[in-house]
Structure 1
Amino acid sequence: MGIGKAFAEACAARGMNLLLVALPDEFLQQVGQELTASFSVKILVYGTDLTREAAVPELFEYCRKQELEINMLINNAGVGAGGRFENISLEKYLQIVNLNNRALVQMCHHFLPLLKQHRQAYMLNMSSMEATLPLPYKAVYTGSKNFVYAFSLALREEQKKGPVRVTVVCPGPVMTNPDALRRLEAHGGRAKWVVSSPAEVAEAGLKGMLRGKNIIIPGRINGLMSSLMKHCPTGLKMRLLERLFRVYSEH
């Protein structure tokens, strides 16, 4: 659903065969059927919970047995939470780190050798604008996205002499589900200036990745805000961010 579905649609529209990986529910099957009916591409679906320790090795083994030639890896799976740090369960925080970071590292480590078998290949990791903005009331989520941001740029530099181009996408707020809608509504009218649709994020991410860009921030205003914040003194920046995101304190 959300950005993942939008990426699948954007890739299928470009004639790419796809293996869709998501939680094993009706949404995954439905998207697979819709893409098969709409585009002349081959669609495989694989349902799993990537927070399980064995999930990624099992997925890799499935790809090996199917003899799939993979030249693009889009790591989009992620989860977040907002609120005062002490008001959210440790179990939830560990789930965020587990999916956003551990599973992503596993995916990259297992599939990079397959990507390197091609003359040209791509890896896209989904981070967030919040990767460079340590948001109060979203401490663990922003920390996890900061890891994705730093990891992706470091890995890109390591791989620059090989066939794999690593790209990190850093979107602002995205309308992906009812929870995202409630968070945006809490910000009032100012949210409309920075919010993006899943389709906009996927299209910007895919275009930028295929052009070999390192960092993609969808939306002109989001890009400008991110650039301005880099030059803002840390103390002032943190006070501004706390004021802006105080609406999450009781979320």
Structure 2
Amino acid sequence: MQAQQHTPYTLITGASMGIGKAFAGACARKGRNLLLVAFPDGQLEEVQRELLAVFSVSVLIFPVDLTQADAAQRLVRFCEEKKLAIDILINNAGMGAGGLFENIPLEKYLQIIDLNNKAMVSLCHRFLPLLQAQERAYVLNMSSMEATLPLPYKAVYTGSKNFVYAFSLALREEQQPGPVSVTVVCPGPVLTNPEALMRANAHGKRARWVMCSPEEVADLALKGLFRGKAVVVPGRVNQALVRLMKLVPTSLKMRLLERLFRVYRNH
């Protein structure tokens, strides 16, 4: 694919709500054309209508279940047919679950791994040749503070986000000094849906110290992306916590985290 023959687009997964929707708005404000991807439940069409009513950019949508084995391949084919040059890939789609490990169905855990890890790797692998064809291109992978803080009662989600973190940093080094810059974003709690609000309420006032809005996360993530940062941790309190926890012995850190997140035990 020759970059000069195609129109540049930003591809955002999980774009129908929460941080993904905030990314779409933030990119549209920068005049970026958008290809929005999310589960086919009707919400993506509403986001498209909202953006087109406000911004003078192209907004294309591709409703798909990213856990399907051929989803990434179909998405690449769509871009080739529409002559889209993808120069920013934002892998935002993800899901999680909290509770005592054995109390959650195995099928749920496998679904988390399929979306958070397998789909992300597939998209990076399929789109990397298209990104490398650009003069400058970016990959933004959404991880979590929990990638550096293994949380009891969120074992699979934490593990999946640790994979995103490690994968992103390794891929970043492989791509240097080429045209593709890879950034991993590690936000703390974000109010993206009623379940997130319920989890925040369970922690009481201390949750407010580390809470960010989807818009804050998207804006800070994009700033870090375009500056070529390897890791972005939105929020000064969150940044301090990550640095502090690196200094705490693992055994003590895990006991503290178990006590803090025991509220999820019967969630």
- What's the TM-score, normalizing by structure 2? 0.93
The answer to whether the aligner puts 1:95 opposite 2:111 as a matched pair is yes
Q: Aligned match of 1:21 in 20, 30, 37?
A: 37
Q: Distance in 2 between matches of 1:196 and 1:34?
A: 23
Alpha-carbon shift at residue 65 of structure 1 (Å): 1.1
Instruction: Give 2:138's aligned amino acid.
Output: Y
Residues 17-26 or 150-159, more deviating: 17-26
1:140-164 superposed Cα distances (whole Å, 9 cap, x missing partner): 0000000000000000000011000
Counterpart mapping for 1:2-41 below 5 A: 2-41=18-57
Instruction: Tell me the CA shift for residue 184 of structure 1.
Output: 0.6
1:249 alignment partner in structure 2:
265
Q: Deviations over 1:39-71 (max 9, x none)?
A: 110000110000111111111111111111110
Shift of 1:76: 0.1
Alignment-mate amino acid for residue 78 of structure 2: Y
1:80 pairs with one of 78, 89, 96: 96
Q: Which runs of 5+ in 1 are unaligned?
A: none
* 1:56 aligned partner: 72
Q: Deviation digits for residues 64-111 of structure 1, max 9, x if unmatched?
A: 111111100000000000000000000000000000000000000000
Structure 1's consecutive aligned runs of 4 or more residues displaced over 2 angstroms after TM superposition are none
SS at the partner of 2:141? strand
Q: Larger deviation: 20-29 or 79-88?
A: 20-29
Normalising by structure 1, we get a TM-score of 0.99
- Name the SS for the 1:70 alignment partner: strand
Per-residue CA deviations over 1:173-202 (Å, capped at 9, x if unaligned) read 000000101111111111000010000000
Tell me the matched-pair count.
251
**Does residue 123 of the first structure (1) align with residue 139 of the second (2)?**
yes
What pairs with 1:37-186 in structure 2 (closer than 5 Å)? 37-186=53-202
Specify the SS of the correspondent of 1:250: coil
Aligned-residue identity in percent: 67
2-side partners of 1:82 and 1:158: how far apart?
Answer: 34
Root mean square deviation, CA, Å = 0.5
Q: One-letter code of the match for 1:164? A: V
> What does the per-residue CA deviation read over 1:18-57, in whole Å, with 9 as the maximum and x for residues that have no partner?
0000011221001001111111100001100001111111
Partner in structure 2 of residue 190 of structure 1: 206
Which stretch of structure 1 is more off in the superposition, 142-151 or 20-29? 20-29
Amino acid at match of 1:142: T
Q: Supply the distance in 2 between the matched residues of 1:207 and 1:161 (Cα, whole angstroms).
A: 20
Which residue of structure 1 aligns with residue 11 of structure 2? none
**Structure 1 residue matching 2:183: 3-state secondary structure:** strand
Tell me the secondary structure at the aligned position of residue 71 of structure 1.
strand
- Equivalences for residues 179-218 of structure 1 within 5 A: 179-218=195-234
Write the distance in 1 (CA, Å) between the matches of 2:42 and 2:167.
33
Give the Cα separation in 1 of the matches to 2:114 and 2:80. Answer: 24
SS class of match (2:133): coil
Q: What letter matches 1:236 in structure 2?
A: L
